[in-house]
Amino acid sequence: MSKDQLEPKLAELMQNIPEIEGIIAFSPDGKIITGQTIEDMDKDSIAAEASKLLKNLKNFGKGIGKGKVIEITANFKEGFAVIAFGEKFSILSFVDSTNKMQLGLLSRGLKKLLV
């Protein structure tokens, strides 16, 4: 999916789930494809770190015999991040700590974009 195809889909997901603070699509090598955040953040750095996480999770999944990682939800002191991993690109999104109820909807929305 191209950047031009992704941008309106990410914007629509942010509109449908207004609690989203940021959403970023990135390539397997950690290059940002497109994304937006409600605050000024270093999206390139965020994408690069998520890509590193994917590499580590691939090794972890292999080591425990569970195969490739599809998605991860991280619970932080100040919020949550959901990353859905795809073959050609992955998408991460994050919300604050008061929006735990939106994680299921956010997960489904991210995975739907990867199909």
Q: Per residue in 14-26, pLDDT tens? A: 999 989 999 999 9
CA distance 57 to 34: 23
**First-to-last C-alpha distance (Å) of the chain:** 10
Whether residue 1 has pLDDT greater than 90: no
Q: Report domain extents, the chain.
A: 3-114
pLDDT tens, position by position, 44-67: 999 999 999 999 999 999 999 999
Is residue 2 over pLDDT 90? no
pLDDT at 77: 95
Contact criterion met (CB below 8 Å) for 34 and 4: no
Number of C-alpha atoms within 13 angstroms, CB side, residue 39? 5
pTM value? Answer: 0.90
- Evaluate whether 108 touches 13 at the Cβ level (below 8 Å): no
**pLDDT given for residue 72 in this prediction:** 94
User: Which are the contacts of 1, defined by CB distance < 8 A and separation ≥ 6?
Assistant: 88, 89, 113
- 54-110 pLDDT tens trace: 999 999 999 999 999 999 999 999 999 999 999 999 999 999 999 888 899 999 999
Looking at residue 115, its pLDDT comes to 81
What pLDDT is recorded for position 106? 93
Read off the pLDDT of residues 28-48 as tens digits, 9 standing for 90 and up. 999 999 999 999 999 999 999
Residue 30's region, left for phi above 0, alpha for psi from -120 to 50, else beta, is left
CATH topology of domain 3-114: Beta-Lactamase (3.30.450)
